[in-house]
Structure 1
Amino acid sequence: MKIKWFGHSCFLITSDNGTRILTDPFDETVGYSLPHTEAEIVTVSHNHFDHANVGVVKGDFKHIKDAGNFTHGDIGIKGISTFHDELSGTKRGTNIVFVYSIDGMSICHLGDLGHALSQEQLKEIGKVDVLLIPIGGVYTIDGDTAIEVIKSINPRISIPMHYKTKHLSFELAELQSFMEKMDGKKYPSNEITINEDNLSEYPKVVALDYI
């Protein structure tokens, strides 16, 4: 499969048979170029301007924004209820973590997770091959808590998201400190191709470039 980063928390995941999943599309105020793309599935972790701009997506797609179990062809999707802050949602509401079963692998998108995960939530998430994790703090977990979450989930690789770049229009923590602590590597592209056989060739933490 291919995983392409459009910036912020927005990724296009394309399965080997061509099914496309777009995660958390943002609006024009965020600073990145809008993800004008077609998709068969669009998942939204929560209804904020930088995650829920489904109107930008082309085509006839399935919009998933709730907890529960969903299927589309041979792709399984599980939505797991979490919170957007460390106070059970009293500051910023709820957040849905999505786990996608694609091409024999498990991809987990944490959305705007605002807290460390409980044992029950970790059990619901289950085994993860690729973890898409926010690290920028302010509105989500910060880099240190992200490291704790990575250790608790134990994915084969982790891809950071939701952090400050020169394109982002508001303040979050930058990538460098997190990458240094995790001995992460920057990938020279905004798209990565993964399969069961090549996952072990990547570093445990790989940041995609924004192009």
Structure 2
Amino acid sequence: MRLTSFGSIAILCVAGIAGRAEAQPAGAPNERPSQCRAIASLMPQATFAQFSGGERGLFQNPQGDQSVRITYVTHATFLIESPQGVVAATDFAGYAGPAVPDIVTMNKAHSSHNTPYPDPAIQHVLPGWNPDGDGPVHHAVTVGDMFVRNVSTDIRSWGGAMEADGNSIFIFEVAGLCIGHLGHLHHTLTDEDYAAIGRLDVLMVPVDGGMTMSQAGMGEITERLHSRIVLPMHRFRGPIDRFLEKLPDFAVEWPREDSFTVSVKTLPDRPTVIVLPGV
């Protein structure tokens, strides 16, 4: 199946993949609409095509020249800073630099991905699992010009069994960009998962090759999402050759700085893996 329309409407294409069968929630009735999943919301076997310039799915971005700063901190922690100065830290384990973030996301896998004692000054602490243990957690938080939501996934316990809804993929929607962090992902994604995620312009992906998934498996997910910028993380200093082998059409850059700015207008035309220093 292929669904096509004109102007700024995205193209949806079929792509099959094995994995979890559970559908992801489409959001609460009064929840802010997601520009990243506006078309493919829960449509099975759909993936977003990527556009350059100002074509961003259903919505044009009137402030497409506004830049977002992304900084690699450590392990699976990035800082995402919006044009209005809202700061989010991913997989926060208690440290994200000297400044206190406005938003932190956490995941359950290990203590390097969460902290039970976040700074009380942090406005929004978003665990990727349900602390009450009853079904998936659901986040939809707006702070200034940043909107943060999650897509729940399962996680592998210490004994090897799969625990439902123990991890979240967090999506940060800011300045017309869709930025996704896979967290401590332990399994392939279903078509419903991809539809709930929607378009991702920037993807943060673990490439350790064992504690999460194989590098080849992560490469397959990355290829399907086809983000314009891919940021490896959770590497443990080992080679990432098997991950890159799955992405022959992607450029690869090894910059000297641990941060960069990006806007809708400056996204690379060719999908690019950027390996930041320290990864």
TM-score by length of 1: 0.82
Distance 1:202 1:190, change over 3 A: farther
**How many equivalent residue pairs?**
197
Q: Is residue 151 of structure 1 aligned with residue 216 of structure 2?
A: no
Indicate the structure (1 or 2) with the bigger Cα radius of gyration: 2
Measured in 2, the distance between the counterparts of 1:147 and 1:34 equals 27
Decide whether the 8 Å contact of 1:132 with 1:161 is kept in 2: yes
Question: Among 125, 136, 148, which residue is 1:77 paired with?
Answer: 148
Amino acid at match of 2:254: K
Measured in 1, the distance between the counterparts of 2:87 and 2:123 equals 9
Q: Is residue 45 of structure 1 aligned with residue 107 of structure 2?
A: yes
Question: Which string of whole-angstrom CA distances, capped at 9 and with x for unpartnered residues, describes residues 40-67 of structure 1?
Answer: 0011122620111364658332111143
Amino acid at match of 2:258: N
Decide whether the 8 Å contact of 2:227 with 2:271 is kept in 1: no
Query: Residue 268 of structure 2 aligns to a residue in which SS?
Result: helix
Q: Which moved more, 1:186-195 or 1:61-70?
A: 61-70
Measured in 2, the distance between the counterparts of 1:22 and 1:12 equals 5
Q: Is residue 95 of structure 1 aligned with residue 167 of structure 2?
A: yes
Measured in 2, the distance between the counterparts of 1:136 and 1:114 equals 11
Decide whether the 8 Å contact of 1:134 with 1:142 is kept in 2: no
Unmatched segments (≥5 aa) in structure 1: 28-32, 166-172
Counterparts of 1:163-202 in structure 2 under 5 Å?
163-165=235-237, 173-179=238-244, 182=247, 183-200=251-268
Query: Residue 265 of structure 2 aligns to a residue in which SS?
Result: coil
1:138 corresponds to which residue?
Answer: 210
TM-score by length of 2: 0.63
1:30 corresponds to which residue?
Answer: none
Larger relative helix fraction: 1
> Alpha-carbon deviation of 1:125?
0.2
1:162 corresponds to which residue?
Answer: 234
Counterparts of 1:87-126 in structure 2 under 5 Å?
90-91=161-162, 94-126=166-198
Measured in 2, the distance between the counterparts of 1:70 and 1:149 equals 26
Alpha-carbon RMSD: 2.6
Counterparts of 1:52-63 in structure 2 under 5 Å?
52-53=114-115, 55=117, 57=119, 59-63=121-125
> Alpha-carbon deviation of 1:180?
5.7
Higher relative contact order (CA 8 A, sep 6+): 2
Measured in 1, the distance between the counterparts of 2:156 and 2:118 equals 27
Distance 1:58 1:174, change over 3 A: farther
Amino acid at match of 1:21: A
Identical counterparts, % of pairs: 27
Question: Which string of whole-angstrom CA distances, capped at 9 and with x for unpartnered residues, describes residues 103-137 of structure 1?
Answer: 11000000000111100000000011000001112
Amino acid at match of 2:81: T
Amino acid at match of 1:127: R
